[in-house]
């Protein structure tokens, strides 16, 4: 588009000026390079040091026919140290230009790292805007466990349409926008998606405008007012059937369903407002201003993902429990996000426990019965009871390829039931609600949780942690 070319021109002119003048200005700020990773125990190169992002403003043009993306990312961040350079995570794509505070910046690429050298060093505490102009055909990223994330093209089959979806747990968001791609750096977002007329484009948060650009394109502007970890950002393009509504408490619902999945999705999505309302009763007020679901064609992904405010389902959700799981993540994982990927059980153990609670509250087996069934391997009560839930402690998966294995989910949920057994219902549910109320929009670690649980319940829970959370042996 025209304005990008102008931006680049202005940027290179500014860069030339700076090149001429830096020699005689006398550098008063001494920065050093920001780290190229945050040393996450499982994904050491994910994220970057030296700054925290406050806001992402993404302007993405996407052509589903050929998979071409033309993007501008404006990233507002605060330097947490003096910076001579800093990194963004970006996989593939072509970077056409980078400016920092409007001045052309040098940059280079190495693997998934985009290193930016601003014309002038940044001061500690300084808020600065980085604009990255980029383009190309974004691709899928294969995780250590073999699953696919990043940018996935979809086939809407009978409708004859191709679409796409961006999903980013744990590191796939780097496939479609440059950023600080680690859950510890949460920010607000504006995501503008421009697609050919006839397509819908859906993202997180609230749709603030939908504009016919007059040149055969439609522009969808989405705003996320509450902080979001970048792995929870999504963009979905397709010939979706969109439906809107409200939960009983007045939270706006926006659902987008791929053609061919509408009939099977309808009974599940009909219960979505009720599920959100139920979560509010169990976990405390729903933490975001909007909710809903995105159903992409079946076979697109091997999983559903709790993308913020609007989970992505690959094909119609097969059961209510799956919708409950992804919506429970809005409290556990999205409002309160892990400090590192080692804390993933704080997401998955809680979301699995939410399924048990939903069952308990709706005439199915109670959480205690699920717990007992797992101990006994009774698949008649819990279909997952035959899995190797005790293979490793939920707070210490052996490696990144085990992050989505059953101990993180099932034994994680069992940790919560063990706490409930120790402290009783009143204190336990106060703990579930308090954990969100006291940490929402931030990050927390396993150590934060165990300390909080003991403080909130007034009980020494060391045995639960030692045996269930950290113990190598199968608990009995
Ligand atoms: Zn989950």
DSSP 81: S
Å from CA of 320 to ligand 1 middle: 14
For residue 348, how far is its CA from the centre of ligand 1 (angstroms)?
5
Conformational region of residue 146, where left means phi above 0, alpha means psi within -120 to 50, and beta covers everything else: left
pLDDT at 13 over 90: no
Say whether pLDDT at 19 is over 60. Answer: no
Ligand 1 centroid vs 344 CA: distance in angstroms? Answer: 9
Ligand 1 is a single-atom ion; what residues have CB below 5 A from it?
Answer: 348, 351
Residue 132 CA to ligand 1 centre (angstroms): 32
Q: β-strand 241-246 against 235-238: which pairing, if any?
A: unpaired
Q: Quote the ligand 1 centre to 100 CA distance (angstroms).
A: 37
Phi, psi of 136 (to 5 degrees): 135, -170
Strand 186-196 versus strand 217-229 pairing type: antiparallel
Structure tokens at 89: 């995570």
Interval between CA 462 and ligand 1 midpoint (Å): 26
- How sure is the predictor about 7, in pLDDT bands with cuts at 50, 70 and 90? very low
Distance from C-alpha of 77 to C-alpha of 99, rounded to nearest angstrom: 13
Q: Strands 336-338 and 312-314, how do they pair? A: unpaired
Spacing of C-alpha 125 from chain mean position:
26
Q: How far is the CA of 427 from the centre of ligand 1 (A)?
A: 25
Beta-carbon contacts of residue 266 (< 8 Å; ≥ 6 apart): none
> 336: CA distance to ligand 1 center in Å?
14
Domains of the chain: 2-328 (2.60.40.1730), 344-469 (1.10.390.10)
Compute, in degrees rounded to 10, the torsion defined by CA atoms 215, 220, 221, 224. -160
Helix pair 272-283, 412-439: axis angle to 10 deg: 80
290-304 pLDDT, tens digit each = 999 999 999 999 999
- Segment 235-258 shows an average pLDDT of 98
Identify the pLDDT of residue 286: 98
Whole-number Å distance, alpha carbon 17 to ligand 1 midpoint, is 51
Whether residue 8 is predicted with pLDDT greater than 60 in this model: the reply is no
pLDDT digits (tens, 9 = 90+) for 408-442: 999 999 999 999 999 999 999 999 999 999 999 99
Return the closest-CA partner of residue 88 out of 119, 60, 56: 56
Query: Rounded to the nearest whole angstrom, what is the distance from the C-alpha of residue 79 to the centroid of ligand 1?
Result: 33
Query: What value does the mean pLDDT take over residues 236-252?
Result: 98
Distance (angstroms) between ligand 1 centre and the Cα of 326 equals: 6
Looking only at the bridges linking them, the beta strands covering 442-444 and 336-338 are: parallel
Q: Predicted confidence band at 20 (pLDDT cuts at 50, 70, 90)?
A: very low
pLDDT tens for 142-175 read: 998 899 999 999 988 765 678 999 999 999 999 9
pLDDT attached to residue 22: 40
pTM of the model: 0.93
Q: Give every CB contact of residue 139 below 8 A, 6+ residues apart in sequence.
A: 91, 92, 150, 151, 175
- The reported pLDDT for the residue numbered 158 is 61
Distance 305 CA to ligand 1 centre (A): 7
Mean pLDDT across 198-203: 97
- Is 156 in contact with 238 (CB distance < 8 Å)? yes
Is the model's pLDDT at 27 over the cut of 90? no
The two tokens of residue 468 are: 């269930």
pLDDT at 336: 98
Distance from C-alpha of 472 to C-alpha of 419, rounded to nearest angstrom: 19
Ligand 1 centroid to residue 306 C-alpha, Å:
7
């Amino acid at each position: 588009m025209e304005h990008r070319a102008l931006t680049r021109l202005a940027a290179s002119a500014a860069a030339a000026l700076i090149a001429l003048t830096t020699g005689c200005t006398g550098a008063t700020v001494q920065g050093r390079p920001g780290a190229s990773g945050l040393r996450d125990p499982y994904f050491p190169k994910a994220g970057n040091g030296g700054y925290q992002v406050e806001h992402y403003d993404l302007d993405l043009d996407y052509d589903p026919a050929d998979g071409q993306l033309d993007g501008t990312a404006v990233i507002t961040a605060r330097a947490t140290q003096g910076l001579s350079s800093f990194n963004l995570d970006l996989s593939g794509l072509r970077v056409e230009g980078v400016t920092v505070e409007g001045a052309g910046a040098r940059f280079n690429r190495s693997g998934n790292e985009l290193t930016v050298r601003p014309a002038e060093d940044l001061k500690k505490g300084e808020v600065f805007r980085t604009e990255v102009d980029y383009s190309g055909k974004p691709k899928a990223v294969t995780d250590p466990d073999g699953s696919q994330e990043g940018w996935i093209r979809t086939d809407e089959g009978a409708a004859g349409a191709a679409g796409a979806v961006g999903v980013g747990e744990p590191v796939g968001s780097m496939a479609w926008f440059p950023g600080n791609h680690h859950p510890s750096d949460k920010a607000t977002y504006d995501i503008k998606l421009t697609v050919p007329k006839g397509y819908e484009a859906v993202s997180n948060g609230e749709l603030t405008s939908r504009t016919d650009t007059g040149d055969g394109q439609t522009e969808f502007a989405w705003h996320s007012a509450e902080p979001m970890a970048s792995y929870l950002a999504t963009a979905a393009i397709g010939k979706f059937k969109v439906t809107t509504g409200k939960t009983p408490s007045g939270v706006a619902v926006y659902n987008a369903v791929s053609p061919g999945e509408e009939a099977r999705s309808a009974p599940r999505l009909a219960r979505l407002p009720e599920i959100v309302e139920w979560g509010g009763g169990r976990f405390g007020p729903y933490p975001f201003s909007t909710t809903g679901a995105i159903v992409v064609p079946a076979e697109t992904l091997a999983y559903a993902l709790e993308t913020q405010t609007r989970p992505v389902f690959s094909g119609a959700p097969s059961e209510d429990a799956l919708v409950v799981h992804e919506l429970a993540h809005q409290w556990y994982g999205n409002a309160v996000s892990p400090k590192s990927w080692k804390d993933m059980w704080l997401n998955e153990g809680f979301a699995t426990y939410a399924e048990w609670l939903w069952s308990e509250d709706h005439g199915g087996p109670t959480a205690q019965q699920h717990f007992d069934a797992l101990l006994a391997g009774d698949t008649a009560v819990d279909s997952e009871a035959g899995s190797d839930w005790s293979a490793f402690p939920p707070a210490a998966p052996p490696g990144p390829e085990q992050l989505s294995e059953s101990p993180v989910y099932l034994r994680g949920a069992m940790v919560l039931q063990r706490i409930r057994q120790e402290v009783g219902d009143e204190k336990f549910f106060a703990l579930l609600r308090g954990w969100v109320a006291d940490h929402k929009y931030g990050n927390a670690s396993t150590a934060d949780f165990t300390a909080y649980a003991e403080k909130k319940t007034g009980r020494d829970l060391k045995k639960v942690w030692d045996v269930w959370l950290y113990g190598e042996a199968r608990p009995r």
